[in-house]
Structure 1
Amino acid sequence: MNINEFLSYKEIDHLHSQLHTSSNNHEITVYDTTELYGEKGAFRVMQFSNHAIQGAMDLNHPERIVFEYPRAIIHLMECNAPSFEDVFLIGHGIGTIAGHFPEKRFKVAELDSEVVELSRRCFGYSQDNVMIGDGRQILEGEEPQKYDYIILDAFTAAGTPRHLISREFFSIAHSKLNSEGYILMNLMGKGENDPHINAIYTTLAKEFTYIKSFSLPSEGAADIQNIIIIGGFKPIHFQARQMADFNEIQLGQGYLIRD
């Protein structure tokens, strides 16, 4: 990716007031900053109205993956099915994960066309593989056993939509993965003591034999953190030093989530 392919730092600074937009789903802002979570530099950020950052780019090193959770997901993908080819991704953001694998066949479902437009205009996303619409509905129309990975990275102000974490959704995902496939989810929660995260784990276990869960360290038990859950039909492998500070956690039994 070439920094000249999208708006320059000065151009976006000039357009700052014009890069706040509304869609049917979100208030979206794209802005530049010289500090991100305590790190100094030059960063471009996409953020929704609830202050949820959807993606960030290091303008000095556009190829760098800034956040920990996509780095951890990429490691799990490369570790468990290194020869993967086909991926279905729900939730586009700035296109970090799909953009990291231009040689692979990604199909991306994104509810908001404005998010996709900004990913192209401001973050240089150049692939033509994003479908606008509800990720579950689009996935239902896919061929059985087609995918090596299904990745869920979709949020609203209330969290991950319920119809993307229900028993019925996981049954659909099961049917669209091949026998070597895995589902990967980026969630937000309190880790091992979160009833909702435990419910997602319990619901996923109805469809997938092997499950592992990871979270970033937190200072307090009530802190909301990124949580990654991976489920599959074969044992799950990872190297702790490659997990971008995510630690494995043990989730407990919870309630069953239905549509």
Structure 2
Amino acid sequence: MSSLAGLVQPTTRQLLTGTALLFLTAFYSPLTVLMLTPVYGSAPAHIFHGYGVALVGAAGWFLKDYIQRLTGRRALFLLPVVAFWVPTLQSFLFASSSVMGNPFGAVVTEVISYYPLLLLSVACAGKLVQSGLDLGRHGDAVAEHVPLVVSYVLYKTGEKFAKAFLAKFIGTTFFFSRAGLQLLLPVFYTAIAPSKFLLFAIPSLLFSMTSNVHMNSGALNSFLNEEGFALVARQDSTTGYISVLDNLNDGFRVMRCDHSLLGGQWTKMPNNYNPAVMDPIYSVFTMLEAVRLVETDHGEPRVDANSKALVIGLGVGTTPSALIHHGIETTIVELDPVVHKFATEYFHLPSNHIAAIEDATAFVKRTPPAQYDYIVHDVFTGGVEPLELFTLEFLESLSSLLKDDGVIAINYAGDISLYPAALTVRTIQYVFPTCRIFREASDSDLTTDFTNMVIFCKKSSATPLTFRDPVSADYMGSKFRQMYLMPKVEIDASRFETIEKGGRRVLHSMNTHLLHKYQDRSALEHWNIMRHVLPDFVWENW
């Protein structure tokens, strides 16, 4: 085994090796966030990640000479060992997420598992790039600062490539999954710096292959079965880690996306009870079906035959399944192909619908106007609302797709005491002047202001919005729908009229970045709620 001093020579080889290290290090940045999101949520995982990477990366560069002396100039050969231990350390740290809390637990996990790799990688890569450029003859300032700038540019280029790669290929094979990549990337480190130190990586590698639940479905299911749960399916995808879980004791099935639930259905039902559409575990999805019950301006009930509905955001498919059962031609816009696949295979989504697997903004832009009698807008995921789908511009585009007597139901999930909720309601009312707002439960039933709020609106403003009384066919043989189909707990819209100091009346697409701090707060609140919906071990063992 040669030392780093023997390798560092003013050659192209050293520059290429340093570049490869920086690209590998950059790839770990978004990958580490992906590993954190099933346990801590997407927004909380990002809160301090950028700051931490910048600080540790800078420390690696400026301490590169000290680190080489401290490790006896063998830091390069320690990198593969550290990389192989990252997933094992994360696995053990995730088990303490409920104790550490959020976002503190996410920070601690990165400090112990990822930052040591980042520190060593930048130190080694910086030394190699500096030696490869060999700018000493131009003075100390040039010899130190030009390699620093070059290293930064290489790192940012690698990070950009990593994000593009993950967006396109995540989940296509095991080694392109978030867990599989944590086995693949250390192999590349090994190719750069093979050594006998790799013997110290064997215990971690054995654990990863046999007992790490993130990499071994058999190990995960064995653990979950002992706690009364079963893994039905799982796959990484464009919007996050998607899985289907059965609760074997209480009798329900859910679809998970990172640290959030997209919905679920009851699977354990009384004998001779067979609703046409499975009962959801959340009443809000049944309430959304009431979009059919909104009366026309003439007070007439709407006719399902020859009607068309657009559903933006699929979840497990409860609401679109009901619309399809009622004979309504239903188009579903869903960004994530795995969500659509799992809803079809595991949640009884009927096949007789039009599926548009694409971004909702792109779909709306290319769709001719006045197409739909009903629109259901239900896009909450990952603990936050996608702000771009609540802007004035997007909602105006949605309005153009409704027929003149059309109706829209918008599900907003969040803390309704915060500024974004009021801003969202005002934006909706600016586009749709005739609205009524309902929440999932009454104030006395809640211990938090985080709730589902459904805004029903008509395109026409000729008459107030009213609902017809449901009939037996509306319930589709479901006792659950008899209880929850009709919206009951109405919210006074006047509570959202006050504009706080420095606030805006409506949300424009150019201003969505101003709400990120509120989204972080909402995501942390949602994280705590989810930890009461399912046990900690379910979220920690994905």
TM-score normalised according to structure 1 size: 0.83
* SS across alignment from 1:156: coil
The residue number in structure 2 matching 1:124 is 348
The residue number in structure 2 matching 1:29 is 243
* Equivalent of residue 236 in structure 1, options 455, 458, 465: 465
The residue number in structure 2 matching 1:8 is none
Distance between the aligned counterparts of 2:376 and 2:409, measured in 1?
A: 5
In structure 2, the CA distance between the partners of 1:71 and 1:156, relative to structure 1 (3 Å rule), is closer
* SS across alignment from 1:80: coil
State the shift of 1:156 in Å: 3.1
User: Is the CA contact 2:291–2:374 (under 8 Å) kept in the aligned structure 1?
Assistant: no
The residue number in structure 1 matching 2:263 is 55
The residue number in structure 2 matching 1:160 is 385
* Equivalent of residue 86 in structure 1, options 308, 325, 332: 308
In structure 2, the CA distance between the partners of 1:83 and 1:239, relative to structure 1 (3 Å rule), is closer
Q: 1:257 is matched by which residue type in structure 2? A: L
* SS across alignment from 2:431: coil
Deviates more, 1:73-82 or 1:92-101: 73-82
Following superposition of structure 1 onto structure 2, how do residues 61-210 of structure 1 map, counting pairs within 5 Å? 61=274, 63-66=277-280, 67-80=282-295, 82-84=302-304, 85-102=307-324, 103-127=327-351, 128-191=353-416, 193-210=417-434
Q: 1:227 is matched by which residue type in structure 2? A: M
State the shift of 1:239 in Å: 6.8
State the shift of 1:146 in Å: 1.2
CA displacement 1:120-145 (0-9 Å, x = unmatched): 22122232421100112112211211
User: Is the CA contact 1:214–1:248 (under 8 Å) kept in the aligned structure 2?
Assistant: yes
| Residue 250 in structure 1 maps to residue 492 in structure 2 | yes
State the shift of 1:205 in Å: 1.8
* SS across alignment from 2:293: helix
User: Is the CA contact 1:68–1:244 (under 8 Å) kept in the aligned structure 2?
Assistant: no
Alignment RMSD: 2.4
State the shift of 1:245 in Å: 6.4
CA displacement 1:60-114 (0-9 Å, x = unmatched): 3463332211221212322335225111111011211111122211111000000
In structure 2, the CA distance between the partners of 1:88 and 1:57, relative to structure 1 (3 Å rule), is same
User: Is the CA contact 2:232–2:243 (under 8 Å) kept in the aligned structure 1?
Assistant: no
State the shift of 1:33 in Å: 0.9
TM-score normalised according to structure 2 size: 0.41
User: Is the CA contact 1:189–1:197 (under 8 Å) kept in the aligned structure 2?
Assistant: yes
Gaps of 5+ in 2: 1-224, 297-301, 470-482, 510-542
Deviates more, 1:194-203 or 1:15-24: 15-24
The residue number in structure 2 matching 1:46 is 255
Gaps of 5+ in 1: 1-12
- Tell me which protein shows more helix as a share of its residues: 2
* SS across alignment from 2:422: helix
* SS across alignment from 1:31: strand
- Tell me which protein shows more strand as a share of its residues: 1
Distance between the aligned counterparts of 2:266 and 2:341, measured in 1?
A: 19
Distance between the aligned counterparts of 1:118 and 1:99, measured in 2?
A: 14
State the shift of 1:21 in Å: 1.7
* SS across alignment from 2:430: coil
| Residue 227 in structure 1 maps to residue 447 in structure 2 | no
In structure 2, the CA distance between the partners of 1:207 and 1:195, relative to structure 1 (3 Å rule), is same
In structure 2, the CA distance between the partners of 1:239 and 1:189, relative to structure 1 (3 Å rule), is farther
Which structure has the larger Rg over C-alpha atoms?
A: 2
User: Is the CA contact 2:233–2:243 (under 8 Å) kept in the aligned structure 1?
Assistant: yes
User: Is the CA contact 1:217–1:245 (under 8 Å) kept in the aligned structure 2?
Assistant: no
In structure 2, the CA distance between the partners of 1:121 and 1:31, relative to structure 1 (3 Å rule), is same
* SS across alignment from 1:238: coil
